[in-house]
Every structure is written in C-alpha cells, then in structure tokens.
Amino acid sequence: MKRKQALLGFVFVAPWVIGFLIFGLYPIIKSIYFSLCQYDVLRIPQFIGIKNYTDLLFEDKYFWKSVWNTLFYTAVRTPMCILGSLLLAVLVNKAVKGMKIFRTTFFMPSIITGVVLSSLWLWILNPQYGLINSMLAFFGLHGPLWLQSTTWSKPAIILMSLWSIGGGRMLVFLAAIQGIPKTLYEVAELDGGGWWTKFRYITVPMISPVIFLWSVIEVIFSFQVFTEAYIMTQGGPLNSTLFYNLYLYMKAFDDFSMGYASALAWLLLVLTLVVTLIQFKISKKYVHYQN
Amino acid sequence: MNRFFKIIKVIGISILIVAFLFILFWDFDKENDNIPGITTLKYWYISGAKDELPYQALKFDSLRDDIKMKVTGIPWQENEKKVLTSILGGNPPDVVTQVTPVVKWASRNALVSLDKYIKRDNFDSTVFFPALWREMSYNNEIYAIPFNTASYALFYNKRLFREAGLDPNKPPKTWNQVKKYSKKLLRKNEKGNIIQIGYLPDYYKLQTVTIMAWELEAPFYNDDKTRINLTDPKMVRVFQWLSDFYKDYSLNKILAFEAGFGNANQHGFISEKVAMVVLSSSFPDQIKKYKSDLDYGVAKIPTFPGFKTASSAGIWWLAIPRGAKHPDKGWEFIKFSTSKKIALESIKKMESNLFPANKLAATDSSFLKNKRDKIFIENMKYAHSPAIIPLVHDAFWREFIGVQENVKYGANPLEELKNAEKTIQREYKTALSYDKFVQQEMKIDK
C-alpha cells in the first residue's frame, strides 16, 4: 500500500517535476554555459570563458550605470514603500465611519496593470499639462520636468510605483496589525501608554516578521524593475532610468547577445543574493518571533 | 465501491497521460498539409491595426490550384522575436515579410540564399530601386527581395510660415536656413513656455544628425572596415551644428514642450506645434485622418551648401527563412508578389501610403497621382540604408542616438563621439571575431 501511495504521489507531482526539469532547471544550467559564450541564438555558441563577465565589470559603462540606477531605485523605494503602507495600514485600522470606502480607495490603484499604469502616469507627470505640475502651479510652485529630467526621472518612477503598490501592501500590514491581541494594547493603556508608545513597543515588534518578509520581497521586486522604464522612458534621459533588467532586455532581445545577457542575469542573481543575505543578518536585531 | 473508485482513478490518470502525450507530439498543422497535390504555403506578414489579409497572398491563392496560402499576421512589435523563435524551433513559415535590415538576418544565417533562384529564373533585379536592391545582399549573395518602401521628405506648415512672415512656397534648402526659420517660427506663451517651434533636430523617426552624416558623406568605418570611425571632422561638424542649434533655446523649455507630443492628433506636426519635420511618405495618410485641412507642403530634405541632399528608405522585404519546408514554392510566391502588376495592385489596396519597391510600379502613371508623390520618388535617388554597421546594428544606433542626446543636454560633441566610437568598437570587435568563428565552423561542417 505504501509503495502504491508513493507511486500515486509521484504521478501527481510528475507534471510539475517534468515542467520544472524542462522549463526551469535545464534553462538555468544552459544559461550558465551561455554566459561563458558569445551566442546570438541563431548561430552556434562560441566558448569565450569569463570574457562576458570581465567586459561587464571592467569595460561596459552601461553596466555600472544600470547597477547604480537600480540600487538607487531599491534603496529609496523599499523603505518608502514599507513605511508608507505601514502608516496607511495603521490609519485604516481605525474604527471610523466609512472606513471601508477609504480602504477600497487606497487599494484600487494596485489593480491597474503595469503598462496601463505607465501610460497613465506619462500624462500625470507631463511637465506642461500634467496633473502634478498643474497642482503645484496652483500653489505657486514650479514643478520639475519629471521624466524629462535626469534628476527627477528616477524619483518620478518611484512615486508612480508607490502609488500603485501602496494599497496592496497596506492590506498585508492591516491583516498583520489586526492579528495582534487586543489585550496588549489594553495593558499599555492601563500603564498610561499613548499612541506612539503602543505603535513603537507593540505594533512594530509584533508585526516585525511581516515587515522583514516584505522588505526582502520588495528588494527583490525592485531589482526586477522593468516595465515602467521600458514603456515610459526607454532608459532615458541620458540613461538615468536605464535599470538593470532593461539593459539586460536590450542586450538579449535588441542585440541578440544572449551570452552577454546570461552573464548579466547571473550577476543580478549574485547582487540580489548579497543584499538579501545582508538583510537576513540585520533582521536578527529587529525581528521578534513570538515563539 | 472501492473497486469502482479504483477503476475511475485508473481511467482518469490514463486519459490525462494520453492527453498530455497528444498535446506534446501531435502536429496540429499536419491535417492541412496533407491534402494530396496541394502545398500549404505558410506566409507571415507584419500586421497593422487593421486585420486585413495581404492582397498578394489572396491573389496567389486564388490563381494557383496547387497551393493553399496559410497567412498569419504577426503584430509589429512581436514580429522579429516570433520569426526568430520559429526558425529556432525548426518550424518557420515558408515566406516572411520583414522590415529590419536584411544583413542583420542574413549574417545570422537565418535566411535562405536566393542566388540559385535568381540565376535559374534570370530574375531581373534592375526593376527595383538600386538603393533598395543593395540592401538585400550579404557577403555577395542575395537573401531577400524588396517589396514596399517608404521615402522621406521635409514637411512644412504653410500657414505657420505665412504667420511668421516667411514665404510658404520657399521651404528651407540649407540647414542654416532651417536654423534661421526655426527661430522666426518660435512662439511662447505669457509664462515664457514654448508653444510653437520651427524645427526640432531629434523629433520623429529619421534624425537630423543621420541625414547630415549621409549628406557630408561622413565615414562610419575606416577603409578596411575593421575599425569604427565616428571622429572624422565631417561627423564632428554634424554634431557641432546640433550643439549650436540648441544654444538658441532654453533646454528645459524645449524638454517641457516636447513632453506634450504624442501620436495621432497629438503629433507635433499635426497639432501644428512644430512647423518643419522630416517625415515619411506614409505620413500624408495620418494628416488626412487627423487634420485633413492642414495646409502643408513637402520638399527635398535640406542640406549643407555644395552637398547633395540625402534621405532614408524603410524597406519591407520578402524572404525564405532557414528551415522552410517549401522554399521553391516560397520563391514563386516572392516572384509573384514583387512583379510590377501585383506590386501595383497590392499597394493600391493598402491604406498606408507606401511605395512599391518595384521601380516600374512606383513610377507607373496610375500610381503617381500628385506632385507630392513625385518628390518622394525623386528622393529615392538619395536614399541611404539605416543598416550602417549591420553586425552591431542596435548597439550602433543606441550609441549614435546617445551622442545626439548628450549633445542636446550640453555635452561636448567630440568627447561624446570619442566615447561612442570606443563602445561600438568593442562590440564590433567581438561581433567580428564571433562571425569569423561561425564561418570557420560552417566550413568545417561542409
């Protein structure tokens, strides 16, 4: 019976295992090999050792530019996203009349897909006719050039991204906050603790595993930023929005330099891994697990 | 009861396995391909907004009893990747229409050489515009046949010319005139923001610096084509003109102004915000669609004193991908499609204002209806190929346009050209060595 059950179990997981081997593991192994080759897909690969990697690290001006752009995007966006959506969650956790409407309103932008969102924000960010600059002009302020400016293009994309994902993350934090036992807050209140004390010493430590999880996920997502730059700026102006994945895409599907693009992909993995390990290391200091 | 469930379970799993194997191995095209005496010819074309099948394919299908055309439209943006994937997968169409440089495909061994067919059938290449035919070859072999083309000219807004006190029948002939006219055509609102300009060198598809480099005959390579050359004084002159042009304006004001452009009626020329733009022969259709009362003229592209004008030609070509199952029949279809009669008939059926690549068809009196068309045909004489460094086509354009952008933002032209030259050279060197390696391997295989 045991053998039979095991066999049946294997049959049921077989589609996934076969799928993973063919479409997951095989391409991963193959891409390691291609990263050591000059390869344009249509012709045979030429083994060139680690030349792609040395070219990337020491010769390619776009590589470091794209690394810097992506790190900037990640470093600014991740804390802002976590902090912003956490504050939103705290706000919409209040028992106020009509709160469901607020929750829905904040959540709504997150159902818009990347391409539509980017096209919409192209107009919101338009320096002459855009919503943001028109509002700033109403208060007598002169708005920046946003996507046309080398200084403001990355902040503009970060702003757009926060608007679109904030609501979704808010829900996650809201669920976590609502899972905190009420008694803890009651005890704090009896001891005379105000809202800040409750937030700092109960809410944040109690949901710190969720904050940690999302900071890891946000960093990984941020490293993968692509659609916004692809649709809105194509990496410009002056490569100020040339993010890592956009550059990888250009090398792979414009230039057909698949070997070079594979090397780029592997370096991205290393970069993500290093940052995630650092996050795990730091997490020991602030993440509290109840057990 | 237990036994009943067991039987159901076995039957269920068996059905799943059979279905899985069926999907994996069944050739869904097989049924259509197997009609005795009839060849199914697969043709992939670049589909537009309208889902209309290409005339030449329908006509060929109706005239040939032994051939059944299976026509598939691939959207513009996906086209290159889909054809590439089909070649890689070993199941490409028999004929494709493409618009990116032939050399980019031929150098990657993606197309079948057409030399044996051309020789066998005494195919007359002189009926095509020479600028287009030149683009069809790689390593002295022909890989594609030109089908349609788009030609370029300077479009100018006559109403805005009149308002600015310029003669609407005298468009600029030199780039210095363009600069002068552009300043005269400049208009700002009370806040000092630009609301109208005469010319923008980097606006729309064909960039001014590219045209100028062609006009001055600036070399892109050294003589033996082993080194990239972007620092020739002629090239520096081009980018210096660009640098000088922007000095007359505030960059921030220009950038804010440009951000308001879009497609259709938001196009800079159609919305009458830019008075002069180099546009293609298919643009009058857009004008007709979005602003039919626009008072505009079409003229030769300006040049430098003492130099010939230059233009570009976008080429839609037909070719047989590597691994095609019916190359002979594919060739017959290509020959049929590019003949004067069919090229003329199919272009008339099309909505966009393209030209037949067949010179006889393009200059036919039934096609050349107005003076404007004649200017476009005339400009074909000066057409250059956008495939400037084919082996590193995209990398080259990324760098070249990058220099233009940097200079626009105030960088030194010579420094930028030097940097771009270095980057392209690195890519070019790698591409050359890879090409050599592949050629050697192929020789060994043969």
Judged by CB atoms closer than 8 Å, whether chains meet at A148 and B256 is answered as yes
Please give chain A's pLDDT, 291 residues, in tens.
688 888 888 888 999 999 999 999 999 999 999 999 999 888 889 999 999 999 999 999 999 999 999 999 999 999 999 999 999 898 888 877 888 888 888 888 888 888 888 888 988 998 878 899 889 988 888 888 899 889 999 999 999 988 888 788 888 999 999 999 999 999 998 988 888 899 989 999 999 999 999 999 999 999 999 988 998 888 989 999 999 999 999 999 888 899 999 999 999 999 999 999 999 999 888 888 866
Same domain for B410 and B356: no
User: In this structure, are B121 and B100 located in the same domain?
Assistant: yes
* CATH of segment(s) A62-286: 1.10.3720.10
Mark whether B207 and B297 lie in a shared domain: yes
Q: Do B433 and A239 touch (CB under 8 A)?
A: no
Tokens of B103: 């050399």
**Structure tokens that stand for B41 in this block:** 């010819």
B148, B362 Cβ separation under 8 angstroms: no
Residue B371 lies in a domain: yes
User: How many angstroms separate the CA atoms of B351 and B349, rounded?
Assistant: 7
**B86 and B169 together in one domain:** no
Report the pLDDT value the prediction gives residue B229, as an integer from 0 to 100.
94
Cβ–Cβ gap B409/A61 under 8 Å: no
Minimal CA–CA distance to B112: which of B80, B82, B137, B144? B144
Scanning every residue of chain A, which has its alpha carbon at the shortest distance from the alpha carbon of B9? A8
pTM score above 0.90: no
Asked whether residue B443 is domain-assigned, the answer is: no
Could you list the residue range(s) of the whole structural domain that residue B195 is in? 152-312+387-433
Instruction: Look at residues B343, B367, B384 and tell me which one is the last residue of a structural domain.
Output: B384
Looking at B368, B384, B400, the residue that finishes a domain is B384
Provide, as residue numbers in chain B, all residues whose Cβ is less than 8 Å from the Cβ of A129: 260
**Structural domains of chain B, count:** 2
pLDDT given for residue B28 in this prediction: 62
Residues in chain B where the model's pLDDT stays below 50:
none
The tokens for A208 are: 């710190």
The reply to whether B145 and B234 lie within a common domain is: no
Q: Which of chain A's residues have a Cβ under 8 Å away from the Cβ of B88?
A: 41-42
Residues 13-42, chain A, touching B (beta carbon < 8 A): 15, 38, 40-42
Q: What is the pLDDT of residue A275?
A: 94
Question: Which residues in chain A touch residue B260, judged by CB atoms under 8 angstroms apart?
Answer: 126, 128-129
Q: Are residues B306 and B317 in the same domain?
A: no
Return all residues near A58 (Cβ < 8 A) that are at least 6 apart.
Answer: none
- The DSSP symbol for B50 reads S
Sign of the Cα pseudo-torsion (B363, B366, B370, B373, in order)? negative
Is residue B406 included in any domain, yes or no?
yes
The three-state DSSP-derived secondary structure of chain A is CHHHHHHHHHHHHHHHHHHHHHHHHHHHHHHHHHCCEECCCCCCCEECCCHHHHHHHHCCHHHHHHHHHHHHHHHHHHHHHHHHHHHHHHHCCCCCCCHHHHHHHHHHHHHCCHHHHHHHHHHHCCCCCCHHHHHHHHCCCCCCCHHHCCCCHHHHHHHHHHHHHHHHHHHHHHHHHHCCCHHHHHHHHHCCCCHHHHHHHHHHHHCHHHHHHHHHHHHHHHHCCCHHHHHHCCCCCCCCCCCHHHHHHHHHHHCCCHHHHHHHHHHHHHHHHHHHHHHHHHHHHHCCCCC
Give the closest-approach CA distance of B259 to chain A in angstroms. 6
The pLDDT score that the predictor gives to residue B408 is 94
* Same domain, residue pair B320 and B193: no
CA-nearest residue of chain A to B422?
A: A59
Burial class of residue A225 (count of CB atoms within 10 Å of its CB; 0-12, 13-18, 19+): buried
Q: Among B384, B402, B419, which residue terminates a domain?
A: B384
Q: In this complex, which of B255, B427, B430 lies closest to A148 when CB atoms are compared?
A: B255
| CA-atom Rg of chain B in angstroms | 26
Contacting A residues, span 217-276, partner chain B, CB-CB under 8 Å = 236-239, 250, 253-256
Nearest CA of chain B to the CA of A123: how many Å?
Answer: 9
At B445 the pLDDT is 60
Q: What is the mean pLDDT of chain A?
A: 90
Same domain, B362 and B397: no
Domain boundaries, chain A: 62-286
Q: What is the CATH number of the domain that holds B227?
A: 3.40.190.10
Residue B440 included in any domain: no
* B220 and B92 both lie in a single domain: no
pLDDT at B371: 62
Q: How far is B261 from chain A (nearest CA, A)?
A: 10
Distances (CA, A) of B68 to B40, B42, B327: 5, 9, 15
- A61 at the B interface (CB within 8 A)? yes
Same domain, B236 and B283: yes
Asked if A55 reaches chain B (Cβ–Cβ under 8 Å), the answer is: yes
pLDDT of amino acid B446: 53
Tell me how close the Cα of A151 comes to any Cα of chain B, in angstroms: 12
- List chain A residues with CB under 8 Å of B409: 150, 237-238
Residue A291's pLDDT is: 61
For residues B407 and B348, membership in a common domain is answered with no
Chain B residues whose CB is inside 8 A of the A236 CB are 405
From the list B20, B322, B394, which residue is nearest A255 (CB)?
Answer: B394
Contact pairs from chain A to chain B, CB under 8 Å: 74
Distance CA B355, CA B340 (A): 12
**Residue A198 near residue A188 (C-beta atoms within 8 A):** yes
Contact A35, A53 (CB under 8 A): yes
Check A42 against B84: CB less than 8 A apart: yes
Q: Quick one: B227 and B308 in the same domain?
A: yes
